[in-house]
Structures are given as structure tokens and as C-alpha cells.
Amino acid sequence: MTTDVRLALPGEPGYEAAAAVFNLAAPAFPAAAVTATGVEQIRAAIRYAAANRLPLRVHATGHASAATRPVSGGLLIRTELAEDVQIDAERRTARIPAGTRWGAVVRAAARHQLAAPHGSSPTVGAVGYLLRGGLSFYGRKTGLAVNRVRAIEVVTADGELRRVDAAHDPALFWALRGGGGGFGVVTAVEIELFPAAAVVTGAAFWPAAHAARLLSIWRRWTLDAPAEATTSIRVMNMPVHPAVPPVLSAGPMFCVDGAVLAGEGGEAALAGHVADLLGPLRAVAEPVLDTWHQTTPEAVLEAHMDPVDPVPIVGDHMLLDEIGDDGVAEFLRVTGEGSGSPLIVAGLRQLGGAYAVPPEGPGALASTGARYSYAASAVPFPPLTEQTIRGYLWRVREAMRPWDTGQTIPSFVEHFGQPQGHLTPDAVAAADEVRERVDPDGLFRGDVAPGASARYDRLKEMR
């Protein structure tokens, strides 16, 4: 192929690597693909796409491949910027090049006793996670991860590299922070870090027979839990696998995991918060596995035990109001022991605290008043099919409908076709105005999240 950028067609060298995704249940089959390691490659790809009337798509690790519309008939840019994470310890900031995984960011920040609002897996791309909201295990203290973004570098459809922040193109800066995408190719973000000299993190597991008592205790604790603590519960049906401790694949399990950050009270207050959380749970029954311990921020990446290798995933996500005892009973009725659930994981993540408080100068997505984030997933290995899984996910959705807020956090959305909505109608209109300005020909229209654009959601070509 003769061009000034090394595009690859299906079957050509480089195509498979550029189009690779983490979620194998949602593979990408673009008409052409390129792995961009620098800004000039991105500019060249944009020029080629415009000249050949190819819609442009962008990804890094492909963790969210199922949450975006299927990639076909367009040019896919994989961002793997050949730069390192830069930490400014004095300003407590990190500049993160696109394509950087959270593991690299966390390790770089931890050398300075600082932490970032990272995801639960070290292999997730930091930039996409941040700009799609982000629910970290520090979030009840620090808010949505996107709120920590202080500047964004982006190549727009005209090929211009822009560095936007609160003082430079504030409208584009606003839209990029949770506005649903379709504004260009983000090449780097600058985020604000926070002190994290000490943290308690880990996971405790019990046989699911104890789930009703444990979930009830955990829910009541969340009602007035300290902001320093962000936790989740999961009902788990783990497969027999070398990466899974045998004790966890012996039957259905109930898990409580998360992190507690040392606050103003120091390590003494930290120990008290952890005791308040775990003491009543451990009194119900001895966990079969308990990894909670005081450590450094790097260990928070391992607490959730997310897979590190690509795997097919079929899942769902909702934001829920306070579920109360009735919600606890319904949740366990469809996910707990004896329910017949095929889901490997069905969980509730604790919200509230700073999650509910928009910061000064917010972006398009700045807060959520929901009490819990629900997420569930399964792996479609035979004889289990994707259709069977989706049917069961709908059953859970119907059971939890009384508490469904109708909202979602984009970084937790598991499928582009699921009900979702994270922007108000006014925010959708404002984001569309920015897209019209920076991408008037709709070159990046395929990158826009469902529900984030009144303009593109109407187009038949966006199926």
C-alpha cells in the first residue's frame, strides 16, 4: 500500500497486532489498521482516512471493544505512543501517553508515594479509562477518575495537535472529559495524583451459603462508611483454571474487596476503618481466603484479580439507587447460590462520597448520585453460548429494575447495545456542538458512544 503511513489490510503484517482486542467476544475487523507510535503517524492516518472517505476509529488495548459499535469498513488507529509516563512529584501530576497501561502509571507514581485513580487491572489502557469516567478503588475519596484530568493532548480531524485545558479551548476540554468520544485522537493526558503512603487492600472470600448475611452487613456498613474506603462485593462462580486458586473454584463464592486509603487520621484511623468493615464480616464465618493487608498502592491493582490475558467476555452494567433489604434479596435470588446463574462474576461496587460531588470546572461527566454500580459477566465457552448469557443478564436486569437509575458509567459499559445514558440532553447537545466544530465532516463519527450524540444516533450508517 503506497501512502505516508504504514497501514495494513487484512492479512498483511501489522494488521492483526493493530486490530487486536482484549475482549475476544468482540473482535475488530476494520478495513485497514495501523499502530501509531507518534503524532505524525496519526496525522498521516487522518489524512488517508479523509482522502479515502473512511470513518476513523481509535483504540489502545481493546478492553472496551464490546462497548463500542462494531468496527467494519473503516480505518482503526491503535495508539501506542512511544513515550514514558512523566511524573512531576512537586506538582503531583502525571503525563500519560496514549496506549500506556495502568500498571506503568501506578508503578511510576508509587515511587513518589503518590497514587492515581486507576482501574482494577494493570493491563487496562489509562487514557480510555479516564476519558470514559472511571470508578477507582479510591473514588469515594477522589471522585470519578475523569475529574483528575488536568490537560489533554489531541489530534483533531484537521491534523492539528491541540493541548487543551481549563484555559485553552475549555469547550473541547469539557467535551473530552466524558463527552462520549468522536473529537479526535487523544495522544496524552495530564492527571492530578494524590498522596498514598499507606493503603489497606485485598479480597476476602466465603462460600456463597453465607452471602445473605454478608451482603446485608456490607450494605448497612456502606450507608455511613468513611470516604477513604471504596469496596465492592461479588458473587463468583470461578472455573477450574491454573490462575484460579483451587479453593475459589470449589463452588460459588462471595467476595468483599477494595481499598482503604490512609486519611487525615493516619495509620491509626486506617486500621479502625478496616476493622469496622471486615470485623463483622469475619465474625459471620472464617473466610476461605483473605488477602486484606496494609501495603503500598501497587497492590491495589491486584485486589480485584482481573484476568491479565485476553478473554471473551459478555457482560452488563447499571447504576443503582439504594437497594435496601429487598434489593439484597432480589440480587441474590438471581445471582446467588441455587439461582442457576451462569455468571462468573456479579457484583456491586460502593459509590457515594466524592462520586456524588461534581468538582469545580467539571467535564461533561462529573459525578453520579447512584449508590452502587452493578456489573456482571460470563465467558461464552461451550456449551454456554453468548445468547444464553445475554438472556440471563436480562433476567438480572429485570430483577434489579426497581433500583435502576437508567444511568451508566461508560468505562463500565460491557456492550454497545445495552441500555445506557451518562449525559443529560443539554450535555449531549453541547458535545455535538463541539464535534461539529472540530470534526465537521464526521470523520470520527464511529467513535461516538451510543446515547452521546443526537446527531449520530439518528444515522442509519451507525448501526
Q: Compute CA distances 417 → 191, 293, 315, 394, whole Å.
A: 31, 39, 11, 12
What is the pLDDT at residue 2? 38
CB neighbour list of residue 297: distance below 8 Å, 6 or more residues apart: 106, 109, 110, 115, 196, 199
What is the pLDDT at residue 264? 61
Separation between Cα atoms, residue 313 and residue 294, nearest integer Å: 32
Cell of 404: 435502576
Cell of 184: 479526535
CB neighbour list of residue 289: distance below 8 Å, 6 or more residues apart: 203, 204, 205, 245, 247, 248
What is the pLDDT at residue 458? 62
Listed as own residue / partner, the contacts of 379-382 with beta carbons closer than 8 Å and 24 or more positions apart are 379/239, 379/311, 379/312, 379/313, 379/314, 379/344, 380/25, 380/312, 380/314, 381/312
Cell of 166: 481549563
CB neighbour list of residue 401: distance below 8 Å, 6 or more residues apart: none
Instruction: Assess if CATH 3.40.50.720 describes domain 199-412.
Output: no
Task: List the pLDDT tens digit at each of the 463 positions of the chain.
Answer: 334 668 999 999 999 999 999 999 999 999 999 999 999 999 999 999 999 999 999 999 999 999 988 888 899 999 999 999 999 999 999 999 999 999 999 999 999 999 999 999 999 999 999 999 999 999 999 999 999 999 999 999 999 999 999 999 999 999 999 999 999 999 999 999 999 978 999 999 999 999 999 999 999 999 999 999 999 999 999 988 888 899 999 999 999 999 999 866 677 788 899 999 999 999 999 999 999 999 989 999 998 888 889 999 999 999 999 999 999 999 999 999 999 999 999 999 999 999 999 999 999 999 999 999 999 999 999 999 999 999 999 999 999 999 999 999 999 999 998 888 999 999 999 999 999 999 999 999 999 999 999 987 765 443 3
Domain boundaries in the chain? 199-412
What is the pLDDT at residue 48? 94
Position of cell 480531524? Answer: 157
What is the pLDDT at residue 419? 86
What is the pLDDT at residue 461? 42
What is the pLDDT at residue 70? 84
**The model's pTM:** 0.94
